[in-house]
């Protein structure tokens, strides 16, 4: 499978893709023809102000249902990450086909689906709102994406595993502290990368910040004694 920003080779644009009609380009996603650099370049050609809506139409997303009234203390209402931040995350974290991406607070699945399509990596979303999990799972089935999955769970309570973790301010307070403890457990077994949008982790001793090209995106490498650093 062709990868995008981490692959220096050019990948030709599939024939017949209409850049102005995302619903028409969806056939390329469903057939497996529109992946990697081809998809990356297609998105880059869409004006930045239109990319979020363009991608949602491409993937066939419905409007999200209302947030549950029973969200626990510390949980944040659903707000999808911007496409530009997802593109930057795939590049900055150098996501490869053998990676396992975990999005904590995955909503309808925009992050995990797009990151998988661009990189080929297996991807899993953890989401506390069951209606969002149900819609995201149905979308992946319709698009034919068996390497993308979703778990209905509180990320502070579920056992995690993966090589790259993504957080778009999914929670705060004690819940966020619990999520970080869960991620640290993974970091004590294997080297990981933690990517966060509009969220910074100051004073976390097992995380080492990387410089990034996008102000809204923070990227951290795990640095746990006895665990090798990520080699990419």
Confidence of residue 19 (pLDDT cuts 50, 70, 90): low
DSSP state letter for 162? -
**CATH numeric code, 67-222:** 3.40.50.150
Tokens of 74: 């510390």
pLDDT of amino acid 12: 41
The reported pTM is: 0.91
Average pLDDT over residues 147-152: 98
pLDDT in tens, 180-205: 999 999 999 999 999 999 999 999 99
CB-CB contact of 78 with 53 (8 Å): no
Give the per-residue pLDDT at 107: 97
List, for residues 95-120, the tens digit of each pLDDT value: 999 999 999 999 999 999 999 999 99
DSSP code, position 48: G
The whole-number average pLDDT for the span 114-128 is: 98
Domain boundaries, the chain: 67-222
């Amino acid at each position: 499978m062709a990868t995008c920003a981490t692959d220096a080779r050019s990948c030709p644009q599939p024939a017949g893709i209409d850049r102005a009609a995302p619903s028409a380009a969806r056939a390329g996603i469903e057939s497996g023809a529109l992946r990697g650099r081809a998809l990356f370049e297609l998105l880059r050609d869409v004006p930045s102000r239109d990319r979020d809506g363009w991608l949602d139409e491409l993937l066939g997303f419905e409007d999200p249902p209302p947030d549950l009234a029973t969200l626990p203390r510390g949980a944040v209402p659903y707000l999808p990450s911007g496409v530009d931040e997802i593109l930057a995350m795939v590049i900055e974290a150098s996501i490869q086909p053998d990676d396992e991406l975990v999005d904590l607070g995955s909503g309808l699945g925009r992050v995990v689906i797009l990151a998988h399509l661009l990189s080929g990596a297996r991807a899993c979303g953890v989401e506390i709102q069951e209606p969002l999990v149900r819609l995201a799972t149905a979308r992946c089935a319709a698009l034919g994406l068996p390497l993308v999955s979703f778990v209905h769970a509180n990320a502070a309570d579920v056992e995690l595993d993966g090589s790259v973790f993504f957080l778009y301010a999914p929670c705060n307070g004690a819940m966020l502290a619990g999520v970080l403890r869960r991620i640290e457990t993974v970091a004590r077994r294997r080297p990981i990368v933690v990517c966060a949008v509009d969220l910074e982790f100051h004073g976390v001793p097992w995380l080492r910040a990387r410089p990034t090209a996008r102000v809204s995106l923070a990227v951290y490498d795990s640095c746990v004694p006895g665990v090798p650093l990520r080699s990419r």
